[in-house]
Amino acid sequence: MRMSIGKRIFLYVMSVILAIWLIGPILWIVDASFQLDNELFSIPPHWIPHNPTLDNYKYIITRVPPPAYDYDPGQIKMGHKASGEALAAIPALKNSFIVSVATMFLNVAISVLAAYAFSRLKFTGRNTSFSFIMLSRLIPAIAVAIPFFAIIQRLRLLDTHLALILVYLAFTLPFTIWFMTKYFDFMPPDLEDAAMVDGCTRFQALTKAVIPVVAPGIAATGAFAFMNAYSEFLFAVLLTKTMASKTVPVVLSAAAINHDVSYALASTAVVLAIIPPIVFALVFRNYITSGLSMAFGK
């Protein structure tokens, strides 16, 4: 059935509006990252930079101030702006990566193991332990902020990557265990039954016969754990103190609430920080959308 011209025009107009709403803010922050503060503060703003520059990127990556950042009292440039937070973007990205990747791998290993048992095996206490894990997620993060701090302090893990990894595991596992259990429920047990008849143990059957088949589910689980760990803010701000463990959201939030920050430099830091999750989401697009619709749908 062909669409009428009127309907076609309407759909395209709506699409353009939607596209501006979805990526307009991102385009603006990218635009800002190619300008210096003196240009960024012009009224009205320069939609296309008059003096596009890579100085912000150079400064953040090399941490050597380019000439444009030299302090010049006569002119509004930017050398006098407090930019420490934005300049910490690269070390913070490294911390974020260590924490998110570790959370991802540990989460996948722990949740696949547990979900397989919950889905396939009958054992005493199965329903109770499953309900317990699910209920644990109903506690809002802010409600356990003080005790989490006390636990991490007592374990002598304040300001370490491990502290964040442990907390993020506790917060992501309930969802991923539930999700993987549901995923295993959909898979017929024929494959692993055959493997076990061939003399494999339960664990070997899981690793050799089952895991290759549920790889899409595992990809969705890993993506979920990574994105959650990468985005988390409350505990990151609570449990880190120095650049030994501060993650990207902590460093950038400090830049955001600093009224004296260099907007150009901070925009550049934001651009660098949002590239990894965007790339991640686009690469794992199919797994994420099918995983999401399976988890929340039927």
Per CB under 8 A, which of residues 87..146 are in contact with other proteins? 110-111, 113-114, 116-118, 121-124, 126, 129, 132-133, 136, 138-146
Minimum CB separation of residue 121 from other proteins in Å reads 5
Residues 27-56 that bind other proteins (CB under 8 A): 28-29, 32, 40-41, 43-45
Nearer to other proteins, 64 or 198 (CB): 198
Options 62-70, 77-85, 213-221, 259-267: segment touching other proteins (CB under 8 A): 259-267
Helix axes 263-283, 5-33, angle to 10 degrees: 130
Minimum CB separation of residue 43 from other proteins in Å reads 7
Nearer to other proteins, 21 or 156 (CB): 21
Nearer to other proteins, 73 or 140 (CB): 140
Q: Binding other proteins by CB under 8 A: which of 14, 54, 194, 215? A: 14
Q: What number of chain residues touch other proteins (CB under 8 A)?
A: 92
Return all residues near 172 (Cβ < 8 A) that are at least 6 apart: 103, 107, 224, 225, 228, 229
Q: Binding other proteins by CB under 8 A: which of 202, 213, 215, 244? A: 202
> Cα–Cα distance between 255 and 89 in angstroms, integer?
10
Among 63, 70, 62, 85, CA closest to 36 = 70
With helix as H, strand as E and coil as C, how does 134-171 read?
HHHCCCCHHHHHHHHHHHHHHCCCCCCHHHHHHHHHHH
The CA distances from residue 290 to 114, 179, 225, 241, in Å, are 22, 12, 16, 38
Q: Binding other proteins by CB under 8 A: which of 88, 99, 210, 252? A: 252
Nearer to other proteins, 64 or 227 (CB): 227
Minimum CB separation of residue 188 from other proteins in Å reads 19
Options 5-13, 57-65, 186-194, 207-215: segment touching other proteins (CB under 8 A): 5-13
Options 65-73, 148-156, 182-190, 211-219: segment touching other proteins (CB under 8 A): 148-156
Q: Is residue 148 close enough to count as binding other proteins by CB under 8 A?
A: yes
Residues 213-232 that bind other proteins (CB under 8 A): 227, 230-231
With helix as H, strand as E and coil as C, how does 179-213 read?
HHHHHHHHCCCHHHHHHHHCCCCHHHHHHHHHCCC
> Cα–Cα distance between 21 and 108 in angstroms, integer?
34
Return all residues near 98 (Cβ < 8 A) that are at least 6 apart: 161
Max Cα–Cα distance, the chain, nearest Å: 83
Residue 36, number of CB atoms within 10 A of its CB = 24
Residues 156-185 that bind other proteins (CB under 8 A): 166-167, 169-171, 173-174, 177
Nearer to other proteins, 74 or 297 (CB): 297
Options 53-61, 76-84, 209-217, 279-287: segment touching other proteins (CB under 8 A): 279-287
Q: Which residues pair with 261 in a beta bridge?
A: 82
CA 40 to chain centre: 29
